[in-house]
Amino acid sequence: MPSKIFFRLDGQVAVVTGAAQGIGKAIAERLAAAGARIATLDLNLETAQRVAAAIGGMAARCDVSNADSIGAALDEVRQQLGPIDILVNNAGIAGRVLPLWELAEEDLDRVYAVNLKGVFLMCRSVIGEMIERHYGRIINVASIAGKEGNPSLIPYSSTKAAVIGLTKSLAKEVASKGDLTVNSISPAVIHTPILDDIPESTRDYMLSRIPMGRMGTVEEVAALVHFLASKEASFTTGQCYDISGGRATY
Ligand SMILES: NC(=O)c1ccc[n+]([C@@H]2O[C@H](COP(=O)([O-])OP(=O)(O)OC[C@H]3O[C@@H](n4cnc5c(N)ncnc54)[C@H](O)[C@@H]3O)[C@@H](O)[C@H]2O)c1
């Protein structure tokens, strides 16, 4: 029987994108509390720096939709902290909230660039070193919208569904290459600033679909990510973990 179970991450290097606020900030704080050395990557460098300073980590400006920006940010991370053990792809945007027939092509392109291409580029940037070192944990933040489809959120819902698919494919590509897992999570409504961009009627709709009848908290999401980022979560890959108060029980 194990005497101590802590899911410790001592000495491991964790990169969290979109960590300046909301869910990403809570994930960075939780992984740091478990002993990881954190790099907070965000478009908003000043706020990312404040988060990093409070947890003894480092920050870098990064636009996850741009390969050069990612390359520069990860160079800084590797120089300051060393090779990356844990990647949490959390940065994401909601996009415009309109029915399909009122959306422009650019509305899809913008959300696609951050939510899907961003995850693709970030994974591609770290997977080589994880394969070489036979170790890695990747957690992609998808959404319940990707499993169920929220009305007036087609760019968002479809990119999150794609993130779940990307996760499953990549998990299978690396499954035999060491202790290397790739999972996604699908939160329902979580209380963060992203909701500021979503009309009240849409928020009410999303909340009404949650059997627990409440929003989730960023701490609840961070706890799930912590487990998936741990060494102990070694036989679980390609999964999409629901954190939705019972909204999607599949
Ligand atoms: N809050 C929710 O209800 C909810 C539900 C399901 C999924 N999610 C997902 O969780 C993740 C975090 O959401 P949140 O609610 O904390 O959002 P948020 O808007 O509070 O924070 C998102 C962060 O990502 C950063 N960001 C945006 N575009 C970026 C880019 N191109 N490159 C780097 N950083 C960028 C922002 O600067 C911000 O700091 C997102 O992927 C979101 O889709 C949120």
Computed over every residue of the chain, the mean pLDDT equals 97
The predicted model gives 193-218 an average pLDDT of 92
- Characterize the bridge pairing of strands 13-17 and 135-141: unpaired
Confidence grade of residue 7 (pLDDT, cut at 50, 70, 90): very high
Indicate if the pLDDT at residue 227 is higher than 90. yes
Measured in angstroms, how far is the CA atom of residue 136 from the centroid of ligand 1?
23
Measured in angstroms, how far is the CA atom of residue 2 from the centroid of ligand 1?
37
Q: Within a domain: residue 120?
A: yes
Is the beta carbon of 148 within 6 A of some atom in ligand 1?
A: no
Is the beta carbon of 216 within 6 A of some atom in ligand 1?
A: no
| Token pair recorded at residue 63 | 């636009």
Q: What is the pLDDT of residues 50-81, one digit of tens each?
A: 999 999 999 999 999 999 999 999 999 999 99
Measured in angstroms, how far is the CA atom of residue 236 from the centroid of ligand 1?
25
Q: Is 205 a catalytic residue?
A: no
Q: Within a domain: residue 109?
A: yes
Q: Within a domain: residue 138?
A: yes
Q: Within a domain: residue 7?
A: no
Is the beta carbon of 119 within 6 A of some atom in ligand 1?
A: no
User: Distance between CA 7 and CA 172 in Å, rounded?
Assistant: 24
Q: Is 250 helix (H, G, I), strand (E, B) or coil?
A: coil
Q: What is the pLDDT of residues 84-130, one digit of tens each?
A: 999 999 999 999 999 999 999 999 999 999 999 999 999 999 999 99
Confidence grade of residue 15 (pLDDT, cut at 50, 70, 90): very high
Is the beta carbon of 27 within 6 A of some atom in ligand 1?
A: no
Number of domains in the chain: 1
Measured in angstroms, how far is the CA atom of residue 142 from the centroid of ligand 1?
10
Is the CB of residue 221 less than 8 Å from the CB of residue 190?
A: yes
Order across the sheet with 135-141: list the strands.
58-61, 37-42, 13-17, 86-89, 135-141, 179-187, 240-243
pLDDT for the residue numbered 197: 85
pLDDT for the residue numbered 3: 65
Q: Which of 112, 135, 156, 241 is catalytic?
A: 156
Q: b/e for 148-184, b at 16 or more Cβ within 10 A?
A: bebebbbbbbbbbbbbbebbbebbeebeeeeebbbbb
Could you list the residue range(s) of the whole structural domain that residue 124 is in? 13-236
Q: Within a domain: residue 1?
A: no
CA-nearest residue, atom 31 of ligand 1:
63
Q: Within a domain: residue 42?
A: yes
Which backbone phi and psi does 7 adopt, to 5 degrees?
55, 45
Q: Within a domain: residue 8?
A: no
Is the CB of residue 87 less than 8 Å from the CB of residue 64?
A: no
Q: Within a domain: residue 247?
A: no
CATH number at residue 43: 3.40.50.720
